[in-house]
Structure 1
Amino acid sequence: LSLSTGDFSALESLFELSAARCLEDQVAISLPSLRAGTLTPRMLSLMAKLRRTGATVAPEAGSARLRAVINKGITEEDILAHAARLFESGWQSIKLYFMMGLPTETDEDLEAIADLAVKVLQCAPRGMKRLGVTVSVSTFVPKPHTPFQWEAQIGRDETLRRLDVIKARLAPFKKISIKWHEPRMSWLEGVFSRGDRALAPVVERAYELGALFASWVDMLDLAPWEQAFEDRGVDPHPYLEARPLDAPLPWDHLASGVSKTFLLRERERALEGKATPDCRYGACTRCGACSEMCGEPEIHVPGVKPRVNLPEPEWVASLRENAPEVELNAPPKAREELTRRDGHYRVWFEKTGPAAYLSQLELANVLERALRRSGLKPSFSAGFHPMPLISFGWALPVGVESREEWFGLFLREAASLEAIGSRLDSALPEGLHVTRVEGLGPGKKIPQPVSEEFLLTYLLPGDEAARRVAQWREFMASETFPWFSVTKRGARTMDIRPLVISVAERSPAELAITFCWRDNRYASPLKLAAAVNEGISLKDFTLTKLRQIFE
């Protein structure tokens, strides 16, 4: 749902109506990180009956002082009470979202992040086997049209130092893990967040230098960006510095509805730690957005005024002491036949065009939704978190097309192979096309292919393409080819020469490459191609899977 879901005054009633239908077909409801207290006991009870997703709480700052600066409006007691309700409702892991580098932040505020995480951990009842608290930290990036649009952003070295402060404080607690937004990525975001037209040539030049997929940590490389800044004569560092309050800003000609006068006033209140209440339930804050209510001499958005469904949010009333219990309809029980397996199939399909940029996880979500639209009824697993019984072959790298992919599927109501193929194909988005469907035995395990054939096509001038093809000839002539890679499991060096069975030259710029995956020795074909053609850019070639080979 939306990022501001918790601001909806009738959220509990809406949630109950939605949950009743979702429970029938095991559709999960995932809420964004909400302010503490927004999830009422009734909502938690309903969520516990659905396919349970993760629970995220967003204190954003560890200390009460800094939460006042950012106008968060919640206390430590609110956060701990919210965590306790989550644990009591069956959640065993909680994610806490924080920002570092906020205006006026000190090391004491950073230590308060770790201290708050420990207190949340202590809210869990004893004996919880899979108990875990995850602290997720992002670098604060000032944004235009906000009270902090004039503030400085901390640099990469300072980001790492502040991370070390938090990690050192959390080191003794094994059930608390910490994750953080890549500092290099935050640095790049900060430059463009408050950028101007001078950055447009930089973006173009960075693309020419091969800066693709910069929002993916494993693909992020600052070298082409730094070169692009140098080539276009742009110094990126001033974009991260504080801006004078009276200086013109690159976005001043854009009207968001909120006046600059209001933003300056809010900045001053923030630095003084003064809270600004929600104007929907209180007095007008004279922000300039509502022309019918505000007297500020600014450009207003015509006809805009606050509107709420209820005079008070339902979550406020439900959490008030001695609040009367609201009688809500009991949700239906999940149907037991959801786990029935009446048919087992393998669906073959093509993954081309825009669908090539779906990750394996995104593909699984797309297929689940397509199955629901098609009217086919997948079987679900039993247990704590029921999931559709869908299995896949080797994961296809993002950006690689395939003429022959498959997934295994159990249905709780059998259907003909033709009906499955036609109904599912009509429900799939562009780039996904069902080619055929096979029936399988009820308990048959689907084998993985022992090898796969890919077509590598170079998008390079003749001489450069010939040089890249020659590198493959040298590779095939070698007995070994050590390859160093870094994965989630750490760094390793492996010999990738046995992973390539054959390379056939179809044309001066096309190679048919057959990879060997015996004994589960699988590696990304995209990374293998980049290892042989060292230094090549992803925009210099395409890779397409042609067929899968089974024993």
Structure 2
Amino acid sequence: MTIAERDISSSGFEELALLSLSSGDYSCLPELMVRLMNRFADQYVSVSMPSMRVGTLTPEIMDQIKRVRKTGFTVAPEAGTDRLREVINKGISEADLLDTCRNAFAMGWKLIKLYFMIGLPTETGEDVEAIADLARKARNEAGPLAGRVQINVSVGTFVPKPHTPFQWERQLSLAESRERINRLKSILPRKGFKLKWHDPDQSFLEGVFSRGDRRLSTLIEQAWRSGVRLDGWSEHYRLENWQRAAEACDMDLDMYLQARNPEKPLPWDHLDCGVEKDFLVREYHNGLNRVYTPDCRTQGCQKCGLCDFKTIYPVVHSADRPPAVKAGHPSIEKTRAGNQDRVFSCRVHYTRLGDSRFFGHLEILQLVFRALTRAGVHVLYSQGFNPSPRVSFSPALSVGVESECEYFDLELPRPMTNQAEVAARLNMELPPGMRVTGIGIKPEREPEALLVEYTVTPVNALSDKQRESIARFLAGEHHFVERVRKNRKKQLDIRPLVHSLETEDSALTISLISMQGKAGINPKDILREVVGLSEEEVLLARIKKNRVAIFPANA
């Protein structure tokens, strides 16, 4: 609780996550969830958790999660059949999963994510097809609302990791992984379902490095010398680059994914993780024979060798349970509804200069939301399943464009009487380049037309030909350009939208007319269509929005 209070206050984040290898196994989770939600629900801070084992995500925990907003709901059956879940000692049944889905749908969730693995030991084609069958059964648990809910199925290739009971098993080949994923694509219904999968090419290399030996250091160096970079990003990752590097090192990568002989040493045997190898062998055979190994926290020691029962031993904490608070608790409803009978609005003017011009519009939204929270500015929130701050922004700027005259509008539960103090607090929380220049009253109506002035500094001085092109444009009455909207081509006359276009030394001053509800243009359009700059020159040009004024609609 102390960490959560400190970090939410200092970050302004609207969500906190409880992360661990198995969050549902934390014995005090129900009590902690109640305390977290009692503390943060009025601030609209939600709590999320990673994928949970079926059975640990109880109705009590789900009831707490939904008090602010319904964050992601992910459960991990991991296998499509009870038989295969017994092999991996999952300890849950299909009935447990369906019961969890039914509770989630009954509490209002419309999307459930299911995580599975392919290539588990003893997996058959029937087990793969059962993944699609289980997803269909899960969606049917929504009952009459089944047509309005969605199941996202996520699939990854099983990597037999070191120091686990299945470290001697083989990993699926690339061809096998692709074949099983394609099979799921063909049998999973399109409506109401979405299939996502981890790239088999990436799983292949993950298996190599998980199960490899010290010779892989040579492979890493060779790949680096061959130009391999940023492979954590899928757009840069190419398995063939690693395969070529392996050929140069005279290495067979497929060898690392093959089954291992339990009687022979493994590359990682010299590393001691605390769990005895005899226990892993026993668990390996128990898995193949579908013999369940219970949880040592509650069912006694399973003799894995990790605990010495002096300094290391299982500890299960319990806590006195505070009374659970439902979503309809008066303290929460007061914030959501009672204080929204009267709404007070104001407009905050700010700049976007320097490096802050590289923020995208969605990033600006998050920066402002979090700055408001850190500065202690309490805004109203929308209602419904996913409350969000009632803050609206001026039209989005293109990335790379600076501005002296941006704004956002706030809806507040009470009038703001200390504008200068609020501006100072916000400026302490906003990043460099973003600075509040004033806070005033929000206009009752937005003007029908605005005159927006920009200064543009091209990377190169304008040529005589480009200046002549500008002069011809200004002398003409029309200048049509082609626009594509929703796959339809349209002709737009941009000449009436340019109020003035002046050149001075190496800079341009452009004044554009922007009208509500009508197609408009931006300075980049002028640079491209009128001045004749190349796409690269357009991107490199320095553009700054200087001022905005009301433009008479009949002018």
Q: Same fold (TM over 0.5)?
A: yes
- Distance in 2, matches of 1:277 and 1:453, equals 69
Residues 157 and 177 of structure 2 are in contact (CA less than 8 Å); yes or no, is this contact kept in structure 1? Answer: yes
Q: Identity of aligned pairs, percent?
A: 36
- The correspondence for 2:233, drawn from 216, 222, 233, is 216
Match of 1:306 in 2: 314
SS of residue paired to 1:116? helix
Match of 2:376 in 1: 375
Q: 1:207 to 1:9 in 2, by over 3 A?
A: same
Is 1:256 matched with 2:256? no
- The correspondence for 1:130, drawn from 148, 161, 165, is 148
SS of residue paired to 2:194? strand
Q: Which amino acid aligns with 1:423?
A: R
- Distance in 1, matches of 2:240 and 2:405, equals 35
- The correspondence for 2:65, drawn from 44, 47, 67, is 47
Match of 2:217 in 1: 200
1:259, distance to aligned residue in structure 2 (A): 1.9
Which one has a bigger Cα radius of gyration? Answer: 2
SS of residue paired to 1:333? helix
Residues 113 and 152 of structure 2 are in contact (CA less than 8 Å); yes or no, is this contact kept in structure 1? Answer: yes
- Distance in 2, matches of 1:223 and 1:405, equals 50
SS of residue paired to 1:126? helix
Residues 276 and 306 of structure 2 are in contact (CA less than 8 Å); yes or no, is this contact kept in structure 1? Answer: yes
- Cα root mean square deviation, aligned: 4.8
Match of 2:173 in 1: 155
Match of 1:226 in 2: 243
- Distance in 2, matches of 1:548 and 1:178, equals 44
- Distance in 1, matches of 2:125 and 2:240, equals 31
SS of residue paired to 2:298? coil
Point out the more displaced range, 88-97 or 140-149. 140-149
Residues 68 and 275 of structure 1 are in contact (CA less than 8 Å); yes or no, is this contact kept in structure 2? Answer: yes
Is 1:66 matched with 2:66? no
Residues 405 and 547 of structure 2 are in contact (CA less than 8 Å); yes or no, is this contact kept in structure 1? Answer: no
Match of 2:285 in 1: 268
Is 1:345 matched with 2:359? no
1:32, distance to aligned residue in structure 2 (A): 1.6
Matches within 5 A, 1:369-448: 369-389=370-390, 408=408, 410=410, 412=412, 414=416, 419-420=421-422, 422-424=424-426, 426-427=428-429, 434-437=434-437, 439=439, 441=442
SS of residue paired to 2:117? strand
- Distance in 1, matches of 2:266 and 2:401, equals 44
1:543, distance to aligned residue in structure 2 (A): 8.7
Point out the more displaced range, 258-267 or 404-413. 404-413
Match of 2:98 in 1: 80
1:120, distance to aligned residue in structure 2 (A): 0.6
Q: Which amino acid aligns with 1:343?
A: C
Match of 1:480 in 2: none
1:310, distance to aligned residue in structure 2 (A): 3.6
> Aligned pair count?
468
- Distance in 1, matches of 2:43 and 2:443, equals 22
1:374, distance to aligned residue in structure 2 (A): 2.7
Match of 2:31 in 1: 13
SS of residue paired to 2:112? strand
- Distance in 1, matches of 2:82 and 2:403, equals 56
Matches within 5 A, 1:164-183: 164-171=182-189, 174-183=191-200
- Distance in 2, matches of 1:405 and 1:214, equals 40
Point out the more displaced range, 238-247 or 84-93. 238-247
SS of residue paired to 2:99? helix
Residues 95-116 of structure 1: CA deviation (Å, up to 9, x unaligned): 1111111111111000111111
- Distance in 2, matches of 1:183 and 1:405, equals 49
Q: Which amino acid aligns with 2:313?
A: K
1:122, distance to aligned residue in structure 2 (A): 0.9
Residues 37 and 78 of structure 1 are in contact (CA less than 8 Å); yes or no, is this contact kept in structure 2? Answer: yes
- Distance in 1, matches of 2:389 and 2:23, equals 27
Residues 420 and 437 of structure 1 are in contact (CA less than 8 Å); yes or no, is this contact kept in structure 2? Answer: no
- Distance in 1, matches of 2:126 and 2:195, equals 18
Match of 2:490 in 1: none
1:71, distance to aligned residue in structure 2 (A): 0.9
Q: 1:341 to 1:134 in 2, by over 3 A?
A: farther
Match of 2:127 in 1: 109
Match of 2:117 in 1: 99
SS of residue paired to 1:9? coil
1:53, distance to aligned residue in structure 2 (A): 1.3
1:292, distance to aligned residue in structure 2 (A): 1.8
Match of 1:285 in 2: 302
1:405, distance to aligned residue in structure 2 (A): 12
1:250, distance to aligned residue in structure 2 (A): 3.2
The normalised TM-score by structure 1 is 0.70
Q: Which amino acid aligns with 1:307?
A: V
Q: 1:438 to 1:142 in 2, by over 3 A?
A: farther
- Distance in 2, matches of 1:140 and 1:181, equals 10
The normalised TM-score by structure 2 is 0.69
1:33, distance to aligned residue in structure 2 (A): 1.4
Residues 116 and 155 of structure 2 are in contact (CA less than 8 Å); yes or no, is this contact kept in structure 1? Answer: yes
1:185, distance to aligned residue in structure 2 (A): 1.9
1:175, distance to aligned residue in structure 2 (A): 1.2
Point out the more displaced range, 413-422 or 181-190. 413-422
Residues 127-181 of structure 1: CA deviation (Å, up to 9, x unaligned): 456311111111112222221222222122211110122222213x511221111
1:226, distance to aligned residue in structure 2 (A): 3.5
1:305, distance to aligned residue in structure 2 (A): 0.9
Residues 390 and 407 of structure 1 are in contact (CA less than 8 Å); yes or no, is this contact kept in structure 2? Answer: no
Contiguous gaps of at least 5 residues in structure 1: 294-302, 315-325, 457-488, 492-513, 523-530, 534-541
